[in-house]
Amino acid sequence: MAAQSNQIPANPDLVIIGAGVVGLWCARKAMQSGLSVVIIDKQQVGHGASGGILGALMPHRPVNWTETQAFQLDALMSLETEIARLESETGLSCGYNRCGRIMPINSETFLAEHRQWQAGSKQRWPAASVSGAPVFWDIIHGVPRPGWPRLKSAYVGYSFDTMSARVNPRSLLKALVHAIKHEAVIVENCWVESISETGRVFLANGTSFSPGHVIVAAGHESFALLRPALNCQLGWGVKGQAVMLRPARESFANQPIIYSGGTYVISHGDGLVAVGSTSTKAFKDDRVDELVTHQLMQRAGELCPALAGATIVEQWAGIRPRAAGRDPVVGRLPGAPDIIVASGGFRITLGIAHKMADAALALVRDIPCQLPGSFAVEKHVAKAS
C-alpha cells in the first residue's frame, strides 16, 4: 500500500531503500518469505536507471570465464521463469521476449574474435532455455537472414545468438509493484538521511525507526549513503541515454536486438524501437543531451537504414550505478550485519536483479547463499581505497 513517511511502522522486519528494479525484486522475495516490508525512495518508483526504455538482457562473452559470468548466465536463464510467474500472478505483461541478438562483424580480426565467442558458447551455454527453445550462437556470412530488419550492407558477416532477450523495464516495474502493493508499505518522495551501524534509519524530516534489517538498493545513490560508514566512495554514477523511435515504414515488432560499437537497437512488441548508447562517467546532470540524441539517431540510421526518418517518441537519460570493483555489490556492511547492500550492476542489473534479491534475502534470513567473491562489499572497498 502507498504511505507517507509518518505512516511507516516503527519496527518492520525489513526496510528497503530504493524502489528500482533491485529494491522491488527484494520486496517480492521478502514478502514470499513472510517478512513485513517497507520500501522507501527519495523520488518515485523506478525514477532512476530502472525506469529506462532499452531493456536489453544480453550475456557476457563466453570466454575467459569467471564467477560473475556464471552468475549472470544463471540469472538470464532463470529470469524467464521468474517473469512467467510474475505475469501469471499479476495478469500484466513484462514485455519479455527471447528475441536473440545480431552483432554485425566489420573486419576479419573481429570475425576471429566472434569465432572464439561462438566456441565458448558451445562450452558454457546450455543447449536450451527453460522453455525448451534452443540456445545457440551462429556466425552468418553474406546476406542477413530473411525477416531480419534491413541492415547496412558490406559487413564481413553477422553473429546471431538466441541467448539474448529483452524486457520492457517499465512494464516489469509495474508488475513488481502490482505484486507487492497490497502488503508492502511503499513510501515515495522520502529522503533517507543516514543509517546507523545498528541499522536505525534516519529520515530527512527528523523521524527515525529501527527495522530488523535494512537493504540498501538505491542504485548510484547507495554509494553516498554508505560513504560515512565505509570511509570511501564505493562507486559512482554513469550516465546512459536512449531514444524511443517509431519507424516510418518497416515493421520492427519483436525483431532481434542489434548491437554494434556500444549502440543498442531494441525493438519492442508494440513496434517501437529503442536506441541507446553505452555510458559515460563525465556528465553534468541527468538531463537529456540533445547532441547525444542526434548521435544516437545518426548511428541508428547507419546500422539500420530502415530507421532513417523514424519519429522520436521519447528521449530518456538516467544515471546507472557502477561500483568500484565494476561487479555488483551484494553483501553485509562490515561491522553492521543488519545492513545489506544490493547495488551496482552497471549494464547488467536488469537481468540479474532477481538473483541479487535472492542473495540479499538469504543474508537477511541468515542462510547460505552463492555469490561470486568479487561481489563482496570488502572487495569493492579495497578497490575504492
pLDDT for 253-263, tens place per residue?
A: 879 999 998 89
Domains plus CATH for the chain? 2-51+170-236+325-384 (3.50.50.60)
Q: Please state, rounded to an integer, the average pLDDT across all residues of the chain.
A: 92
**What pLDDT score does 341 carry?**
97
**Is 349's pLDDT higher than 90?**
yes
Cell triple for residue 255?
525483431
Cell triple for residue 200?
536505525
**What pLDDT score does 5 carry?**
60
pLDDT tens for 81-138 read: 999 999 999 999 999 999 999 999 999 999 999 999 999 999 999 999 888 889 999 9
Res. 33 pLDDT band, cuts 50 70 90: very high
Res. 184 pLDDT band, cuts 50 70 90: very high
The model's pTM is 0.95
**What pLDDT score does 251 carry?**
77
pLDDT tens for 40-75 read: 999 999 998 999 999 999 999 999 999 999 999 999
**What pLDDT score does 2 carry?**
58
**Is 147's pLDDT higher than 90?**
no
